């Protein structure tokens, strides 16, 4: 009887010895421990390892950062605040499931922590994101058909193509009314005359200005001997010549404008009665499987 009890005790201890490594492997985190049992040297060493992991996290080397953070937590297993930091590294890596697992472990090991509500909301947000990602994931491709499956039946012989149907629309019987209007030549004459009149005004104004300046130097067209006398005489003569050109040019331009306008209003409008009306035909083309409309015209 005693031997049976000893055998059962040995089997129970062996089961516990086997189960503990399995549970430790499944949790992937060291068992929680009391901070009073951690030596000062372990605390300093864990802090140094944590700083190395923090450096890797800032460099976006998330695998290295996670490894160092877990090592720091293994050295000092009383600092459960390492678990949210590990979850952050997993989240930045894109592994939301592992981030949720690390946060769940933190809630179990530190149920009275002050940031408990924040961690719970964080877990909920990550789980919602995972659910949305699973909903939007593309469906798995269907399994390939077996090689022994019967080949699909050959397509049925297509029916003979339908004949092309062409519908022509004749041009309307009533012709368009004749178009009436004036020729453009009167407007050309009017434009040329207006340009000539403007040029004459400019020349006459410049000439008048030169004469006025010369008269200021030589009042009454009598110049005192000196170097300014010759220049004033030349300026006055030049101004007189510009006035002689500009005055007639103004008259010619004004006459051309008047003639062009008179021509325009007295001209009899011409009609376009001899123009050939446009004819347009529309064809509706029907082809098996397609449909289209084409239009052709003759003008």
pLDDT tens string for the chain (299 positions)? 455 555 555 454 555 444 444 444 445 788 888 888 899 999 999 999 999 999 999 999 999 999 999 999 999 999 999 999 999 999 999 999 999 999 999 999 999 999 999 999 999 999 999 999 989 877 666 666 444 455 555 555 444 444 444 444 444 444 445 555 667 888 788 888 888 888 888 888 888 888 888 777 777 777 767 666 678 778 778 888 888 988 888 988 888 888 888 878 887 776 554 544 444 443 443 434 434 433 344 32
Q: What is residue 144's predicted lDDT score, i.e. its pLDDT? A: 60
Q: Quick check: 136 and 58 in contact, CB under 8 A?
A: no
- Rounded Cα distance, 38 and 47, in Å: 13
- Rounded Cα distance, 285 and 278, in Å: 23
**Which residue carries 């409008």 as its tokens?**
269
- Rounded Cα distance, 189 and 79, in Å: 102
Q: Long-range contacts of range 234-240, CB-CB < 8 Å, 24 or more positions apart?
A: 235/210, 235/211, 236/210, 236/211, 238/207, 238/210, 239/206, 239/207, 239/208, 239/209, 239/210, 239/211, 239/212, 239/213, 239/214, 240/207, 240/211
Residue of 175, 231, 155, 241 lying closest to 206 (CA atoms): 241
Give this prediction's pTM: 0.41
Q: What is residue 40's predicted lDDT score, i.e. its pLDDT? A: 93
């Amino acid at each position: 009887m005693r031997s049976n009890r000893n055998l059962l005790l040995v089997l129970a201890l062996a089961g516990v010895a086997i189960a503990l490594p399995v549970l430790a492997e499944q949790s992937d985190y060291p068992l929680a421990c009391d901070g009073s049992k951690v030596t000062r040297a372990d605390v300093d060493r864990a802090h140094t390892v944590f700083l190395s992991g923090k450096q890797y996290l800032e460099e976006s080397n998330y695998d290295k950062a996670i490894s160092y953070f877990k090592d720091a937590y293994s050295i000092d297993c009383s600092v459960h605040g390492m678990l949210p930091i590990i979850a952050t590294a997993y989240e930045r890596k894109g592994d939301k499931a592992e981030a949720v697992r690390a946060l769940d472990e933190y809630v179990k090991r530190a149920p009275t922590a002050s940031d408990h509500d924040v961690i719970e909301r964080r877990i909920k947000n990550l789980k919602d994101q995972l659910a949305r990602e699973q909903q939007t994931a593309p469906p798995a491709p269907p399994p390939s058909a077996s090689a022994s499956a019967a080949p699909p039946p050959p397509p049925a012989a297509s029916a003979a193509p339908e004949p092309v149907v062409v519908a022509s629309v004749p041009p309307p019987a009533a012709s368009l009314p004749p178009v009436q209007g004036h020729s453009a030549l009167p407007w050309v004459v009017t434009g040329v005359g207006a340009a000539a009149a403007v040029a004459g005004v400019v020349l006459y104004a410049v000439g008048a200005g030169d004469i006025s300046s010369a008269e200021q130097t030589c009042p009454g067209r009598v110049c005192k001997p000196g170097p300014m006398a010759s220049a004033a005489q030349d300026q006055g003569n030049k101004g007189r010549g510009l006035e002689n050109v500009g005055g007639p040019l103004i008259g010619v331009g004004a006459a051309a404008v008047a003639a062009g306008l008179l021509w325009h209003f007295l001209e009899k409008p011409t009609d376009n009665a001899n123009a050939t009306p446009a004819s347009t035909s529309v064809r509706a083309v029907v082809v098996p499987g397609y449909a289209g409309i084409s239009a052709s015209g003759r003008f």
